[in-house]
A and B are shown apart, each in its own frame.
Chain A
Amino acid sequence: MNTTIMLFLVQDGITNGAIYALLGLALVLVFAVTRVILIPQGEFVTFGALTYATLSAGNMPGTAQLAVAMGVVAFGLDLFGGRRSLHLRLVARAFAINILLPVAIYALTYWFAGKNTPIAVNIALSLLIVAAIGLFLYRLVFQPLAHTSVLVLLIASVGAHLALQGLGLVFFGAEGQRGPTISDAAFMVGPLRFTGQSIAVYAITIAFIVGLWLFFGLTLYGKALRATAVNRLGARLVGIRTTLSGQIAFLLASVIGALSGILIVPITTLYYDTGFLIGLKGFIAAIIGGLVSYPLTAVAALVVGTVEAFSSFYASNFKEVIVFTLILPVLVLRSLAAPEVEEEKD
């Protein structure tokens, strides 16, 4: 085999792997805090990417309306949930978060859409919109189910994925889209060409890995989030607001997802349903990391990306088959190594 080809494939694999690593990290984060296996992570990716692409094309993305609609329902739920003790402060707070915030984002988007806005503004708007959707997704779907089993949460997660993917088709249509690159700079190292885009992918991935590691290891908030994951009741008894923990986790996950999408949409064409597959590859990395370890997840994601790059070169027809069966040997190893832990489940 040709060394240059191999280097190209490794480079390609690492760029893809970095994206999977970001998604894998988000999945680990959400699972560790809320026990939700976040299948809609893929939708955060497509929503982020396609919102960015739509904005760049000068159009108004439908996701901004979705954020408002979800906010209205969330406001209704908040009022209904607190109907026995409706203080003015509570109502005002709920109104600010659920109505004012998405409406403000919508207004901003409306204001900027169609004008020749700089890339940074489009990115910021896309992140804001998807972050709001992520926040409300937790409020609407998972917060009412927070006390149930991992299994129920997983099925709900699948339901949310179906609904969001269907909405993605309505908002963005069936055609694929591409977005403008963040940076057109490029330089050569030997035979390899590094673009500003791929450097941005590496830098952001590393920044997030380090950031999450510091956040969970060193800050009080990070520790509170971890405590929520281990024992919700116990966490509440020591004064941790478990709802807030869930919201933070979803906020982070949606921002990470949207950012991954924005990073890859200049490199590959994304369709409304591409996110599901991309998210699942992040999953494979997360599973290899045992849904707990950030560094292991990142390494596994690089492996997944590299395997994908090589199999798309040598057996492009069976690329997906190979990537998804990668999980089987991992599961075998896990099942052999897994300690027999008794779970109280229902």
Chain B
Amino acid sequence: MTQRLLPISIFAALMAVIPLIPGMPPFWIVLLNNIGLAALVAMGLVLLTGVGGLTSFGQAAFCGFGAYTTAVLSTAYGMSPWLTLPLSLLVSGGAAVFLGLVTVRLSGHYLPLGTIAWGIGLFYLFSKLEFLGRNDGITGIPPLSIGTLKMLDAGTIYYAIWIAVLICALLSMNLLDSRTGRAIRALRRGHIAAEAFGVQTPRAKLLVFIYAAVLAGLSGWLYAHFQRAANPTPFGAHAGIEYLFIAVVGGAGYVWGAVLGAGIVVILKEILQSYLPLLFRGEGQLETIVFGILLVLLLQLAPTGVWPWLMSRLPFKPARKRPDTSLTLPARDRPAAAPGALLKIDNARKQFGGVIAVNNVSFDVQPREIVALIGPNGAGKSTTFNLITGVLTATGGTISMQGRNIDNAPPQEVVKLGIARTFQHVKLVPDMSVLENVAIGAHLRGHAGAISSMLRLDRADEAKLLAEAARQIERVGLIDQIDQPAGSLSLGQQRIVEIARALCVDPTLLLLDEPAAGLRHMEKQRLAALLRQLRDGGMSVLLVEHDMGFVMDLADRIVVLDFGTKIAEGTPDAIKTNPDVIKAYLGAVA
């Protein structure tokens, strides 16, 4: 039994014993069933919202799809509940595909607003459609059964619910701890960094959206056979809000936080519902008032939730396994080396409205060459980088890599040609370890998909990716920090982590945006030595840098930009004495 599975097995054994305790009130079992059902939905939200950063208030509607699918098929058509299970999941997943295609491309707050709107729309649809029984819903749903065992009472379906919870928790954890999982976890910090390493961010968003919907559909299916009835009320807007509340209470980034949050909220609600009317005049939904106030207080006082707080109080810390660096990844497929320039920029132009950020700039980078792009602030250096890597589309001109035209290519295609980059403003995922951050760089060199990750069939692939990441971390000299969260490192070290991430691409051209900013003198020297070593190994480097000592010492050739226009190009010695360059930097002929 591995260390990973031990706590889960203990939890599973504990849950298995609970209904067998003599004198256990049946009501508690019902409560536990409700906790399990809510935990399933919240688990999907953990992945969607806590990890992926996509907020949905509409998960209850997906429960509704699952519940109504089985309700209709098992009552009107007499299908076995086990046959309706895949159909329920398919319907909720299918609805997610449709709604996801519409909404996940939306940034920021449009997605949650959209989910509120369709959550309410679907609720009204459920309550108006004739074949779904309108407001009364559908009753007389057959119970789940295995052979002659009919799961009629709460104590038997309890096992079905909690087995589902455990399996889904395992699948979710496996998914997060994989190549696809890292891509999902990178979404929350914006898409540019992830896309620069080949992550198809819309696809990753859609994937996690569908996953969350399928979990909700499963919960709905179980709910229908537990209650043996389905009506619109539990699938309305307020239920959707409650699921999000559960995820936030538990700790929105943690799979087990969903289970814990479900436990806290369901029990709290039960207590509030039974005791509040005694405390106050017995009127109306007093629990929603307390509920709303608690939600606000929680956000103000403990925005990360209960689970991480609990974990940080554990007396022992789980040790992390170091990747086995003897494993190697096959090198990236490279096209046959074409003669001539590696990267060729010809009359590249970028206009933002009336501002010409890059004005018909031309230069090239030869194989095994370090080229520096310098110029005062606002000269268009970073914009040029963004044009090369496909983050921005050029207004005019052509950019080609080894003879292949790459203007207008999306970042995911550019990286496939062996162009890897770092960012001027560090774009790491602060709560992921250095190792995991760097492994995102090797995204395109792995092949395991979401399903194989969930089933843990990706381990060989994954071990190689992590080995490569560890090797690059060692190469840049950060092996001691490998398990630390990237956000805990100094800014200079974070820049070095970005370089390691870029090296994981196995690039032919490395684009570094101010790599030496924030580094100390010795660190700069080590960085320069590393870059020289990379060049001697056959890589080319194009860097933007303000530290003139560093640039003059390192670069083979320098291109100078000023106000978007190239004003000089040449060896460091020629640039140092170029009157135009001196004028651009010092304002007048010095």
Contacts and interface: CB of A to CB of B under 8 A. Distances in A.
A156 interface: yes
A3 interface: no
Contact of B284 (A144, A154, A155, A170): A170
B288 A165 contact: yes
B309 interface: no
Interface residues of B, number: 49
B109 A167 contact: no
B308 interface: no
Interface string A268-285: 000000000100100110
B295 A156 contact: yes
A225 B120 CA distance: 32
A169 interface: yes
A174 interface: yes
Contacts of B245: 155, 159
Contact of A162 (B103, B118, B241): B241
Contact of A343 (B107, B121, B289, B292): B107
B112 A151 contact: yes
A335 B101 CA distance: 10
Interface in A136-155: 140-141, 144-145, 148, 150-152, 154-155
A164 B292 contact: yes
A345 B53 contact: yes
Contacts of B284: 166, 169-170, 174
A325 B121 contact: yes
Contact of B110 (A165, A166, A331): A331
A99 B458 CA distance: 63
Interface in A309-346: 317-318, 320-321, 323-325, 327-328, 331-332, 334-335, 338, 340-346
B293 A155 contact: no
Given A155-B299, A174-B284, A332 B102 contact: yes
Contact of A159 (B103, B106, B107, B292): B292
A320 B108 contact: no
B546 interface: no
A344 B190 contact: yes
B296 A156 contact: yes
A163 B299 CA distance: 15
A324 to B, nearest CB: 3
B525 interface: no
Interface string A12-47: 000000000000000000000000010000000000
A77 to B, nearest CB: 10
B108 A324 contact: no
A181 B152 CA distance: 57
Interface in B282-326: 283-296, 299-300, 303
Contacts of B190: 342-345
Nearest to B283: A170
Contacts of A144: 300
Nearest to B237: A276
B366 to A, nearest CB: 32
B55 interface: yes
B121 A338 contact: no
Contacts of B118: 324-325, 327-328
Contacts of B53: 151, 345
Interface in A289-303: 291
A287 interface: yes
B117 interface: yes
B109 A338 contact: no
Contact of B289 (A148, A167, A291, A340): A167
Given A145-B299, A162-B241, A318-B128, A335 B292 contact: no
Nearest to B57: A158
B268 interface: no
B217 to A, nearest CB: 20
B30 interface: no
A263 to B, nearest CB: 24
Interface residues of chain B: helix, strand, loop or mixed (majority): helix
A158 B116 CA distance: 11
A32 to B, nearest CB: 12
B108 A163 contact: no
B244 interface: yes
Contact of B296 (A159, A173, A338): A159
A226 interface: no
A161 interface: yes
Given A150-B109, A169-B284, A160 B120 contact: no
A308 B288 CA distance: 30
A283 B117 contact: yes
A152 B285 contact: no
Contacts of A325: 117-118, 121
Contacts of B102: 328, 331-332, 335
B113 A324 contact: no
A287 B128 CA distance: 26
B105 A335 contact: yes
Nearest to B192: A342
A132 to B, nearest CB: 18
B524 interface: no
Interface in B383-440: none
28 contacts: A37-B113, A140-B296, A150-B109, A152-B303, A154-B55, A155-B295, A158-B241, A158-B292, A161-B292, A162-B238, A162-B291, A163-B290, A165-B285, A166-B284, A283-B116, A284-B117, A287-B110, A317-B128, A324-B118, A327-B114, A331-B106, A331-B110, A331-B114, A335-B105, A335-B110, A338-B107, A344-B190, A346-B189
For the complex of A and B, 9 pairs with smallest distance between CB atoms: A163-B292, A162-B292, A159-B295, A324-B121, A166-B289, A166-B288, A169-B284, A320-B124, A335-B105
Interface of A: 37, 140-141, 144-145, 148, 150-152, 154-156, 158-167, 169-170, 173-174, 277, 280, 283-284, 287, 291, 317-318, 320-321, 323-325, 327-328, 331-332, 334-335, 338, 340-346
Interface of B: 53, 55, 57, 102-103, 105-110, 112-114, 116-118, 120-121, 124-125, 128, 188-192, 238, 241, 244-245, 248, 283-296, 299-300, 303
Given A145-B300, A162-B288, 8 more contacts: A162-B292, A164-B292, A165-B288, A283-B117, A332-B102, A340-B107, A344-B190, A346-B188
